[in-house]
A = this chain, B = another copy of it.
Amino acid sequence: MADANREAHAAAFRAIAAHRSEHGLRDTVQRRQIVEVVLQAPAHATLEELIARTRALHPRVGATTVHRTVALLVACGVLVKRRFGDHCARYELARPIAHDHLLCRGCGRVEECPPALAADSAERARTLGFTVVAHECVLYGYCAACAPPPDGAGDP
């Protein structure tokens, strides 16, 4: 797992470097510090959390810079921005293998589940003249630890 992690981080650094040279961006202290934090942060962290973690290690980094750097990381494909039910966006490292999300209405936790849907859905969409390049699927329900569903409920 340490190896896989190291490989994922190396890939991230490669993507960042490529994006930087392609867009004439600069290699700054803050960006290196923020990237360091982002690569270590738990999946589905909010910007608030990423800012807090960054400032815990590097107090002089401004919140705005974290915002802007996270946006850069999304632009170069290292981070994926997601919106679950919340008011605020959440971020996770882009994975080569797609996965879906299980959102527990009991405890609110977001878990991940293996990709069961990509192939099916891409094919279905293609018959509609739509070329799928990515997908995002959230399943709402109750995890093993939480109470079973009450009764009839709407969609999300």
Chain B nearest CB: distance from A89 CB in Å? 9
> What is the interface size of chain A, counting residues whose CB is below 8 A from a CB of the partner?
52
Task: Let me know if A116 is at the binding interface, CB within 8 A.
Answer: yes
Chain B residue at minimal CB-CB distance from A92: B155
Copies of this polypeptide in the complex: 2
Q: How far is the CA of A80 from the CA of B113 in the complex (A)?
A: 24
Chain B nearest CB: distance from A123 CB in Å? 8
Do residues A156 and B130 form an inter-chain contact, with CB atoms below 8 A?
no
Chain A, residues 79-120, CB within 8 Å of chain B (1/0): the string is 011111100000000110010101011000001011011001
Q: How far is the CA of A116 from the CA of B153 in the complex (A)?
A: 21
Taking CB atoms, residues of chain B closer than 8 Å to A141 are 125, 130-134
- Segment touching B, from A2-10, A34-42, A49-57, A143-151: A143-151
Give which listed residue, B122, B136, B144, contacts A156 with CB less than 8 A.
B136
